[in-house]
């Protein structure tokens, strides 16, 4: 995952980059890989060592995404209305959900589901959706 994120630059089209990641992880990779993720997550609820590894992976993923989004916000290619870390956590949450659905549903429609997630992310990155607790004011609705 780290190598996947390392090729995305702060000025890149995030939606195109995430579309490619979605294709790779939810269409090209075998379904068994998503099943393995579920097995690891389940084991992390019982095994401290696996939990520590899973938590470190999550921290690293969120940190990398946060840095990438913050840099894109600084150069103006991503809206600053939401905190970079909040966006990163939402991306991870949505991706986790896609992994679960991919693992559990034999008729998982990766093209459709990834497209829907990207529509939401696109609106967020453009500032049409705001994640701030205090609200984003009139800018978020424009």
pLDDT tens digits, one per residue of 55-93? 999 999 999 999 999 999 999 989 999 999 999 999 999
In a domain, 89, yes or no: yes
Rounded to whole angstroms, what are the CA distances from 124 to 9, 10, 15, 84, 141? 18, 16, 11, 11, 11
In a domain, 133, yes or no: no
- What is the domain extent for residue 114? 4-126
Global pTM reads: 0.86
Scan for tokens 């609200």, then name that residue. Answer: 135
Residue 135 pLDDT class (50, 70, 90 cuts): low
In a domain, 138, yes or no: no
In a domain, 132, yes or no: no
pLDDT tens digits, one per residue of 92-129? 999 999 999 999 999 999 999 999 999 999 999 999 99
In a domain, 135, yes or no: no
pLDDT tens digits, one per residue of 22-52? 888 888 889 999 999 999 999 999 999 999 9
Alpha-carbon distance of 102 to 37, in angstroms, equals 10
In a domain, 102, yes or no: yes
In a domain, 136, yes or no: no
* CATH code of residue 110: 1.10.357.10
In a domain, 66, yes or no: yes
Is 66 in contact with 75 (CB distance < 8 Å)?
Answer: no
- The number of domains in the chain is 1
């Amino acid at each position: 995952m780290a190598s996947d994120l390392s090729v995305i630059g702060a000025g890149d089209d995030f939606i195109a980059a995430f579309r490619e990641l979605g294709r790779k992880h939810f269409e090209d990779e075998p379904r068994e890989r998503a099943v393995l993720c579920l097995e690891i997550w389940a084991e992390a609820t019982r095994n401290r060592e696996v939990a520590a590894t899973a938590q470190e992976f999550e921290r690293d993923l969120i940190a990398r995404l946060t840095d990438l989004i913050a840099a894109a916000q600084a150069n103006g290619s991503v809206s600053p209305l939401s905190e970079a870390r909040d966006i990163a956590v939402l991306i991870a949450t949505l991706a986790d959900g896609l992994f679960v659905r991919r693992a559990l549903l034999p008729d998982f429609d990766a093209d459709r589901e990834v497209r829907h997630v990207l529509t939401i992310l696109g609106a967020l990155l453009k500032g049409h959706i705001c994640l701030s607790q205090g609200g984003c004011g009139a800018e978020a609705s424009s």
